[in-house]
Amino acid sequence: MPQQYVVPQFLTVEPKIIGPITMRQFVILLGTALLIAINFKLLTLWYAIPLSLLEFGLAALFAFYKVNGLPFQYFVLNYLQNLKRPNVRVWSKEYTNKELKVFISMKPPDMPEEQLARVRPTESRLAKLSLVVNTGGAFSPHDEAVLEPMKFEKKKQ
């Protein structure tokens, strides 16, 4: 009999292209290298060096850092979406003095003098309902023979 193995699910392995660097990381670093080269061509050395260090730091963060096993870009996207529409919605309306005066001047609604009590099912009604439920509707509660307990006669010896 062949052995059974547990197959892991939900594995996401990015293919490595250069050593331990994945395609996504390579593209991020390549784009950053091009941006840094443009910085050194267009800006003076005193402006290009700090800007290039900042760009390289952000690129390294996005390329290599993971939050809870997910790439940093997903963390940033989730954070921005959470800022845009938070999960907790609180409504706290503040009333003006005019609205408060109107509420105070209103009469409370008339309460009915006599409140009807909820009618509770009697034991016989409960017995009928349980019969219908337990038998799946096969026996009707109107069958008197079913509702009456079975009577056994004692045998005379």
Amino acid 155: pLDDT: 62
In the block, which residue shows the tokens 């990381």?
25
pLDDT in tens, 35-80: 999 999 999 999 999 999 999 999 999 999 999 888 999 999 999 9
pLDDT in tens, 22-32: 999 999 999 99
Is 97 within the bounds of a domain? Answer: no
- For 67, list phi and psi in degrees, rounded to 5: -115, 120
- Output 77 or 112, whichever has higher pLDDT: 77
Tokens (6 digits) for 63:
């390329």
Amino acid 52: pLDDT: 96
Amino acid 141: pLDDT: 61
Instruction: Tell me the C-alpha distance between 63 and 106, whole Å.
Output: 64
- Output 157 or 7, whichever has higher pLDDT: 7
Tokens (6 digits) for 50:
């700090």
Amino acid 58: pLDDT: 96
What are the DSSP E strand ranges found in the chain?
A: 16-18, 21-22, 66-67, 70-71
In the block, which residue shows the tokens 């292209």?
17
Angle, helix 45-64 to helix 23-42, in steps of 10 degrees: 170
As a whole number, mean pLDDT of residues 98-114 equals 80
Instruction: Tell me the C-alpha distance between 150 and 157, whole Å.
Output: 22
Is 7 within the bounds of a domain? Answer: no
Is the confidence at residue 81, as pLDDT, over 70? yes
Is 150 within the bounds of a domain? Answer: no
- What angle is formed at CA 37 by the lines to CA 66 and CA 34, rounded to 5 degrees? 50
The total of structural domains in the chain comes to 1
Is 136 within the bounds of a domain? Answer: no
What is the residue range of 54's domain?
Answer: 16-84
Tokens (6 digits) for 70:
């997910």
Mean pLDDT of the chain, nearest integer: 82
Is 72 within the bounds of a domain? Answer: yes
Is 144 within the bounds of a domain? Answer: no
Looking at the chain, the whole-number percentage of residues with pLDDT higher than 90 is 36
Helices (H), 65-114: 72-84, 97-105
Q: What is the CA radius of gyration of the chain?
A: 39
